Structure 1
Amino acid sequence: MIAETIFSAVSAAGLGIAAVTAYRKRFLSATRIAAYSLVPVGLVMTGVVKWVAHTAFSPVAWLGFVVLGVAWLLFLGTRAVERRRGGTRKERRAAAKASGPAAIAVCTPRPVTTTGAVAVTAGTSASGPPGPRGRAGPGTRPPARPGAVPPVSG
């Protein structure tokens, strides 16, 4: 009841401001102000304000919003895990069967020096294998001097 009164007063004030603006020969601004002023009355007349007021004070409605939020977070979480893994389990199995054992990359360890530093071999940098066009991946730099081994922090 009070919300409808407040919304009606806001609309009336907005229409008054629109009239003053139109009197000053600013018709485009006056029309825009009048449009914004009619929105609160339209919301009251359609029953949206009553529905929002009823929902705002209903604990069941708030629990419903919480349940919807939890469901949304679960969907996001499963999607993030799925993206990290590279698809669903069925998709990964189908890809593995289709490509065969030749497609599985064998990871060979890089040689380590006696000091514990990773030795730099031809075609690689201390940060890892080269990226496209022989460059190291993003956020990596080659050693300062060719053939230099980066210091071990420890």
Structure 2
Amino acid sequence: MIAETICAAVSAAGLGIAAVTAYRRRFLTAAKTAAYALVPIGLAMTGVVKWVAHTAFSPTAWAGFGVLAIAVVLFLVTRAVDRRRGTTRKQRREAARAAGREAVAPDASAPSLGAGAAPAARTAAAATRPQGASREQSEDFSDIEAILKKHGI
């Protein structure tokens, strides 16, 4: 009840100031002042003031605010620990992406030739390829890797 009375008094004072401002021919300022002055009485009439008053004096509400404060403190502490370790969210995301790119079974995409044919096929392919070709291919791939690293890919 006292909160509504205070809101009405504040609104009446604000409307009085708006009237004086309008008398001085500053209509735009008077209109803004009147708008601000009507807010407290509007809040009192809608019941928001009563709700806030009940919340302010409620032990349950204050316990809820305490729980929220503990949650915020936990968030801040975990963030500080992460920063102290040197791991950022970006680094963890990049590590997860790198882990996801590794093949689970690298030979799964190779054609199945049977258990005895696989080593023979590899040695035959190595014998037909000249020795300089493997060196050139590794240099080509290193150039490509350097270009990709340069562009952040």
Short-chain TM bin: 0.5 to 0.7
Normalised by the length of structure 2, the TM-score is: 0.56
Encode CA deviations 1:48-98: one digit per residue, 9 max, x unaligned.
Answer: 21111001111111111011001011011111222332136x928937x77
Normalised by the length of structure 1, the TM-score is: 0.55
AA in 2 matched with 1:23: Y
Higher relative contact order (CA 8 A, sep 6+): 2
Are 2:92 and 1:91 equivalent residues in the alignment?
A: yes
1:75-90 equivalent positions in 2, closer than 5 A: 75-85=75-85, 86-87=87-88
Greater radius of gyration (CA): 2
Question: Where does the alignment leave 5 or more consecutive residues of structure 2 unmatched?
Answer: 100-153
Cα RMSD, aligned residues only: 2.4
1:1-154 equivalent positions in 2, closer than 5 A: 1-85=1-85, 86-87=87-88, 91=92, 94=95
- Identical positions, percent: 73
Change beyond 3 A, Cα 1:21–1:82: same
What is aligned with 1:129? none
Change beyond 3 A, Cα 1:93–1:13: closer
What is aligned with 1:114? none
Instruction: Work out the CA distance in 2 between the residues paired with 1:92 and 1:47.
Output: 48
Q: More helix by proportion, 1 or 2?
A: 2
Aligned residues between the structures: 96
